């Protein structure tokens, strides 16, 4: 029997031909899924073409999702999307999604059962770490790395050290995965887990669903982490079993596995969080934030972080029967077509529109300053997205505050950053 391994070390090891791996090792690892979008994949496609080989490594292990500027917002974005479409046609890529069937990539791939527990997933997008919620090792890479993976189905990577993050206790009302990860980043900073795997555990997660786990893994990169991962359990199994069309493996860390550090948090003392500009680490308690009477011009609910049906249900719970403040914009963006359909069937779309919101087709939208909600100079937004860097959502003098969907909804109603309890 070998030395005790973390879940991350086990997954990486099982995608190599080695007998053991250690943190810091550079390994050649096989890839289960290689992902690109309409911003990053065109660069990878150009590099792939310079390699001069006749085909991709496996047409069923590549996913191409135009989601950032689709439906195309201008001629340049149309050309980018066209490159994905033509590459998919040329190599008969199984997992290519046109905009009428697509959505935000990191919500879409788990929903479709394309990424599964035990997988090793790479994507030319930093929030590829989202899939760690399923118990997969998933990480963002550069477009040239993606090109190599398209061709050969493997890549070099450094085995990361792991930090174990333990949340214990039942969450308070309105507290979600978004609040736990913002609280964590507030404690350790945006460089607190540089090139490490954040491994999440604790009984708190028995009270939270997969949507919360996706949110937490998604934002691991905001602490500098290489990945964010959960040990799969019965909640994972319930999510995966109706979606998977191939075998998958549940890995878990061995007793005695070595961690760089272990962080323990009492969930019961954590309130909803708001991250002030211009870093996710500027996280404060909602009561402190609401006391500052910060006026907002725009509220955004959506993205790969918080655009799932559970997020929209919570927002609708706050918004039902109410109107958003005059001169305030509320933009709701379901993360996938399936989420949109569910929201429509459940009456959530009507609730949003009756409140005065705009409901968009699935897209990354304003999260990265793309479109569907760009901020003008001096404007402020509260958003359920994952980044609030200077100029992230528009003009460099604008400001973005990060929060969960309930806080974003309450803030839209009052026109200032607000606790959901203020409107209920």
pLDDT of residue 49: 92
Q: Does the bond joining 71 to the residue before it have cis omega, within 30 degrees of 0? A: yes
Residues near 415 by Cβ (< 8 Å), separated by ≥ 6? Answer: 295, 296, 324, 325, 326, 327, 328
Cα end-to-end distance, the chain, whole Å: 57
pLDDT of residue 114: 97
Q: Does the bond joining 424 to the residue before it have cis omega, within 30 degrees of 0? A: no
Give the CB-side neighbour count of residue 316, counting CA atoms within 13 A: 22
b/e sequence 316-329, b meaning 16+ C-beta within 10 Å:
bbbbeebebbeebb
DSSP bridge partners of 120: 137
DSSP bridge partners of 284: 274
| Spatial distance between the Cα atoms of 36 and 109, rounded to a whole number of angstroms | 12
Nearest Cα residue to 132 out of 103, 169, 106 = 106
| pTM, rounded to two decimals | 0.95
pLDDT of residue 343: 98
Complete domains list, the chain, with CATH = 7-242+259-264 (3.30.499.10), 275-422 (3.30.499.10)
pLDDT of residue 1: 54
Assess contact for 85 and 70: CB atoms under 8 A. no
Strands 33-37 and 120-123: parallel
Nearest Cα residue to 67 out of 423, 353, 421, 339 = 339
Nearest Cα residue to 80 out of 370, 422, 419, 420 = 370
Q: What is the distance, to the nearest Å, from the Cα of residue 35 to the centroid of all Cα atoms in its chain?
A: 14
CA dihedral sign of residues 333, 339, 340, 345: negative
Tokens 């994972």: give the residue.
236
pLDDT in tens, the chain (424 residues): 578 999 999 999 999 999 999 999 999 999 999 999 999 999 999 999 998 888 999 999 999 999 899 889 899 999 999 999 999 999 999 999 998 888 999 999 999 999 999 999 999 999 999 999 999 999 999 999 999 999 999 999 999 999 999 999 999 999 999 999 999 999 999 999 999 999 999 999 999 999 999 999 999 999 999 999 999 999 999 999 999 999 999 999 999 999 999 999 999 999 999 999 999 999 999 999 999 999 999 999 999 999 999 999 999 999 999 999 999 999 999 999 999 999 999 999 999 999 999 999 999 889 888 888 999 999 999 999 999 988 898 989 999 999 999 999 999 999 999 999 999 8
Q: Does the bond joining 278 to the residue before it have cis omega, within 30 degrees of 0? A: yes
């Amino acid at each position: 029997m070998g030395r005790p391994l973390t879940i991350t070390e086990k997954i990486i090891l099982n995608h190599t031909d080695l007998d053991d791996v250690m943190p810091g090792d550079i390994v050649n690892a096989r890839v289960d899924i290689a992902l690109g979008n309409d911003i990053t994949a065109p660069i990878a496609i150009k590099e792939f073409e310079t390699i001069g080989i006749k085909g991709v490594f496996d047409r069923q292990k590549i996913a191409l999702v135009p989601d950032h500027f689709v439906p195309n917002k201008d001629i340049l974005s149309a050309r980018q999307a066209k490159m994905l479409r033509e590459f998919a046609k040329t190599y008969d890529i199984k997992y290519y999604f046109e905009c009428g069937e697509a959505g935000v990539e990191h919500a879409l791939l788990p929903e479709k059962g394309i990424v599964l527990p035990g997988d090793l997933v790479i994507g030319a997008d930093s929030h590829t770490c989202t899939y760690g919620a399923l118990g997969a090792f998933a990480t963002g890479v550069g477009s040239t790395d993606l090109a190599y993976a398209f061709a050969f189905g493997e890549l070099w990577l450094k085995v990361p050290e792991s930090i174990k993050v333990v949340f214990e206790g039942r969450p308070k009302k309105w507290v979600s995965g978004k609040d736990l990860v913002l609280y964590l980043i507030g404690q350790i900073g945006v460089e607190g887990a540089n090139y490490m795997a954040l491994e999440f555990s604790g009984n708190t997660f028995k009270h939270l669903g997969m949507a919360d786990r996706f949110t937490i893994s998604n934002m691991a990169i905001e602490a500098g982490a290489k990945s964010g991962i959960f040990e799969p359990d019965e909640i994972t199994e319930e999510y995966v079993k109706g979606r998977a069309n191939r075998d998958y493996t549940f890995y878990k860390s061995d007793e005695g596995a070595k961690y760089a550090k272990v962080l323990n948090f009492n969930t019961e003392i954590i309130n909803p969080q708001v991250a002030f500009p211009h870093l996710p680490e500027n996280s404060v308690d909602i009561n402190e934030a609401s006391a500052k009477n910060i006026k907002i011009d725009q509220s955004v609910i959506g993205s790969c972080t918080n655009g799932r049906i559970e997020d929209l249900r919570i927002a609708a719970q706050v918004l039902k029967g109410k109107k958003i403040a005059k001169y305030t914009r509320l933009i709701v963006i379901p993360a996938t077509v399936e989420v949109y359909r569910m929201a429509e069937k459940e009456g959530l779309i009507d609730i949003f529109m009756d409140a005065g919101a705009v409901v968009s087709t699935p897209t990354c939208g304003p999260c990265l300053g793309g479109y569907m909600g760009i901020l003008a100079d001096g404007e402020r937004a509260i958003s359920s997205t994952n980044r609030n860097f200077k100029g992230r959502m528009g003009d460099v003098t604008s400001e973005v505050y990060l929060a969960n969907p309930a806080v974003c909804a309450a803030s839209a109603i009052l026109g200032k950053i607000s606790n959901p309890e203020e409107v209920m």
